[in-house]
Chains A and B, each alone.
Chain A
């Protein structure tokens, strides 16, 4: 039995409206350490919006989100230093190389050598010095996802991480997610792909959707 203060995320009665239209209401779920939660639902049912609420970028009209028993807005700094969010926009500077981009978002405990190593693992070793505008969409996605390697965050929020990735890319990310879960990390993601991960808890958003 776990108490609310053990839960990485506890979402209660979330309501979100945009321009007077209710996108979803009554959203309730929780996420524990070492758990992978897959958000599912048709297009437009508010998956990305829910993700952005969990990053504090968007405020819901009602309801609250708690992390380890505390409202995420109470100590925003503490909450934010524990999450990493990778969305549709990759936040890569196209003029810089993947190495420079990763160096920018890497945690200060990671040195350059480590970044080289993980880029090899991601299959980016050959392009690490090229400017990003020379890379394909799939390669850019790989660069963005490499940020997961170099961050210390315990909670990963991934919005459609597999879009534009090829099969080998998907299997690398799945391995990466598995390793994160084994280290007691938590993952919340949206995806339309079938995953070969074993211990997935699925959550259908269409029940909250209007």
Chain B
């Protein structure tokens, strides 16, 4: 018996490119998290009295909280569209490994949300008057950290996908899992500002990212195979 190949058999790269082309059509998926992030940063100084706080000392924390929230809001819908229009069930019954396309989607998600956040973060740091030594570690930590957030968030998003907009369920389940990255991410910037060796927390983030890359796509694929379409 012949085994027909469809074009999306190629898996990772094809799905990566497809996600990018779909996002070009819905451009606000990329810009909206950035705008959200900046608005959050703009609100925080208004809530604090400028006499008591020096912004530069709380800047690493604020930057990382806003990155986490923006990433959280964007990861929620990563599988929703595919679930609603039936693409996900077609993917499940296509004769191929599931983890590769999912990894492709996740990398695309990171390129569309995490990477822009990292590149735009110096503007946030600027308005929060972060010292100059903190800029490079901040960008690096956001590059690594958002990839981790996307990967781990996608596991919980795959559990809640059949709820449509799950409301508070995704944040409730995912924020505890985000905590290590928040700790090490803001510590990286903190260390750099206070003149300490900042490569240590960054290296731990890298380790966590490697673990997540190995585990999360397979976890998402398994969850889809076993629980989703009941």
Contact = CB atoms under 8 A, between A and B. Distances in A.
B3 A81 contact: yes
A89 B92 CA distance: 14
Contacts of A103: 7
Given A55-B93, A95-B22, A108 B85 contact: no
B22 A107 contact: no
Contact of A105 (B5, B8, B89, B229): B8
A57 B6 contact: no
B126 to A, nearest CB: 35
Contacts of A87: 86, 89
B47 interface: no
B166 interface: no
Contact of B4 (A76, A81, A89, A96): A81
Interface string B89-118: 110111110000000000000000000000
Interface in A164-209: none
Nearest to B25: A95
Contacts of A96: 21-22, 25
Given A81-B3, A106-B6, A89 B86 contact: yes
B25 to A, nearest CB: 4
Contacts, number: 83
Nearest to B97: A77
A57 B85 contact: no
B18 interface: yes
A43 B92 CA distance: 26
A78 B3 contact: yes
Contacts of A107: 4-7
Contacts of A152: 2, 4
Interface in B1-52: 1-9, 18, 21-22, 25-26
B87 interface: yes
A57 B4 contact: no
A93 B85 contact: yes
B230 interface: yes
Contacts of B89: 55, 57, 87, 89, 91
In this complex, the member of B4, B8, B9 whose beta carbon has the largest number of chain A beta carbons within 10 angstroms is B4
A95 B26 contact: yes
B22 A93 contact: yes
Interface string B61-94: 0000000000000000000000011110110111
Given A57-B92, A81-B95, A83-B93, A92 B85 contact: yes
Interface string A63-99: 0000010000000111011110101111111111000
Interface in A18-55: 18, 52, 55
B2 to A, nearest CB: 7
Nearest to B8: A104
Nearest to B84: A89
Interface in B195-230: 229-230
Contact of B90 (A56, A91, A153): A91
B4 A91 contact: no
Contacts of B3: 77-78, 81-82
A163 interface: no
Given A78-B1, A81-B95, 8 more contacts: A57-B92, A77-B3, A88-B86, A91-B90, A96-B21, A104-B7, A105-B8, A152-B2
Interface of A: 18, 52, 55-58, 68, 76-78, 80-83, 85, 87-96, 103-109, 131, 151-153
8 shortest interchain CB distances as A-B pairs: A89-B86, A152-B4, A95-B25, A91-B86, A81-B95, A80-B95, A91-B90, A81-B3
20 contacts: A18-B230, A77-B96, A78-B95, A80-B94, A80-B95, A81-B3, A81-B95, A85-B90, A87-B86, A89-B84, A89-B85, A89-B89, A93-B22, A95-B25, A96-B21, A106-B7, A107-B4, A108-B9, A109-B4, A109-B5
